[in-house]
Amino acid sequence: MKLNLDTTRIARCRECAGDIADTIMEGVNRVTTTTIERTVCRLIGIDGVDSAGVPLPNVLVDMLHEAGRLASGAACYVGRAIVATGLSPQAIAEKVAAGEMDIVSFDSVEHDLARAALEDLVAKGIARIEANAERRRELMEKLSPGIEPLIYVIVATGNIYEDVNQAQSAAKAGADIIAVIRSTAQSLLDYVPYGATTEGFGGTFATQENFRIMRKALDETSLETGRYIRLVNYCSGLCMPEIAAMGAMERLDMMLNDSMYGILFRDINMKRTFADQHFSRMINAFAGITINTGEDNYLTTSDAYQEAHTVLASQFINEALAHRSGLPDEQIGLGHAFEIDPAMTNAFLYEVAQAQMARDIFPNEPLKYMPPTKYMTGDIFRGYLMNGMFNLAGVMTGQSIQLLGMLTEAVHTPHIHDRYLAIRNAKYVFSTARDLGCEMTFKPGGIVETRAQKVLDEAAVTLEQVREIGLMAAIEEGVFAGISRAPDGGRGLDGVAEKADDYWNPFEDEISARLKKNGGGACD
């Protein structure tokens, strides 16, 4: 540890976060959601849309939900239909969509038979995810996995084919990670759009076909550059586990997957989000996908200096919840950001304190470091320098994933050369100061160390308070990002159902068992 932080205080924070997470998990384990059941449908091979463009998993699950049957899970109904008709899940979904079949009309089929009917399909779904994880391992070994801080850039043209051009260009210039930003407001859609898309606002729709197109393009570039180029998308919003499943099927490498982001910033109901994030994280854990948490977002609404401790508190909670979904430390990319007002004297020292503190407290986690955005004004020259300072803080404190700042932040979604210039900036700073962190110690009791200890102390107080009243009440009180959300407010609560005694999710069962076997942590 580079900063002489109080280790008992750190342990206390972890203990608090663990208790907070356990309480949340009690609620999570009692319910299922429409998107969790749609995920099950997707993983047993249901895909495509009906004549009105509604995804077939939605058609099927909506029908179950309307019939009050969500509580048992979609799997047993599909299983029964297979036994009764001998059709494939896809054919069943098509018939249901065409109004030729009632999915709840096979109640006479024994539950055990329904389970047995799905056995091979579940094994096939699991095998596809495993094969992707294996393929990633092979490619990482064969090619270079990249040197940390890994260079992470965003493409967001709205058109997947244009995104491919920009992504390949960025990867050739040195980017290790490409994130395809989603179209604005996709997080509020209670379905996942279908097929290749060429229209979007502020980003490109996350669809399985778009994932596949980009994966193929980046694999080509990986072979060309000799570096494995990672692909990122967004496991957030109302379809968290479905996106996780699609990412697992198409070999994405990272997913933005925060436990509270949707609640705070998208006003999605908290019961829905906590349940969805759990299953999505289990899938990510099993697929070898690294999650990126979203603490950086707090600082766009709250003051980065004043509210630094809420970022740390949230990192502890995100970590605790991630462990309970079977994610090992190595797949938990905790987020934070370089957002302190640059007009503040010694702002850079406080940034370094925050970043080094995160590194010391979470030594095995691939920390995701987010660039300045709040104080980017369109002054591209000053912005370029601020991004240089951000890159310096990143390399000297050993951050793992550096999301590069764009000099044109606050002006437009990046142009092709904005990204190129950002990569040049990062490559220069990372190279010129590569081992600075190893050469450096912090003055005991100096500005940096004192600041980090203060943030840790404040985070401990916050976590104690949250444990006392519970996370849901804390969110209601506006502890995080100054935003208040009620337990029964927000979008998506109507898609939450209490599980019945016969609830069955074969993928949850199977993935949970596999994660335990792999020693990846115990799933609740």
Single out the catalytic residue among 368, 418, 420, 503: 368
CB-CB contact of 334 with 295 (8 Å)? yes
Active-site hit among 62, 296, 360, 418: 296
Residue 520 CA to residue 502 CA, distance in Å, equals 27
Between 92 and 154, name the residue whose CB sits nearer to other proteins: 154
- 323: closest CA among 114, 472, 52, 523? 523
Give whichever of 33 and 187 is closer to other proteins, judged by the CB atom.
187
Return the ∠ at Cα 88 (arms to 83 and 93), rounded to 5°.
100
Residue 245 CB, shortest distance to other proteins, in Å, is 24
CB of 25 to other proteins, least distance (A): 29
Rounded to 10°, the helix 74-85/111-142 angle is 110
Smallest gap from Cβ 302 to other proteins, in A, equals 7
**Minimum distance, C-beta of residue 159 to other proteins, in the bound complex (Å):** 11
- The verdict on whether 261 is a catalytic residue reads yes
Residue where the block lists tokens 């996780």: 244
Alpha-carbon gap, residue 449 to 35, rounded angstroms:
45
CB atoms under 10 Å from CB of 161, counted, come to 15
The neighbouring-strand residues paired with 177 are 152, 230
Minimum gap (Å) between residue 428 Cβ and other proteins = 14
Minimum separation from the CB atom of position 378 to other proteins (A): 6
Name the site residues for other proteins (rule: CB under 8 A). Answer: 158, 165, 168-169, 171-173, 184-185, 187-188, 201-202, 265-267, 300-303, 306, 341, 343, 373-374, 377-378, 410-413, 415-417, 420, 482-483
> Active-site residue 298, yes or no?
no
Query: By C-beta, is 175 or 515 nearer to other proteins?
Result: 175
Euclidean distance between CA atoms 289 and 432, whole angstroms: 31
CB nearer to other proteins: pick between 2 and 266: 266
Enumerate the β-bridge partners of residue 230. 177
Nearer to other proteins, 79 or 414 (CB): 414
User: Could you write out the three-class secondary structure of 267-334?
Assistant: CECHHHHHHHHHHHHHHHHHHCCEEECCHHHHHHHCCCCCCHHHHHHHHHHHHHHHHHCCCCHHHEEC
> Could you confirm whether 454 is annotated as catalytic?
no
- Catalytic-labelled residue, pool 77, 191, 228, 261: 261
Q: Pick the closer one to other proteins by CB: 191 or 265.
A: 265
Would you name the residues annotated as active-site residues? 261, 296, 368
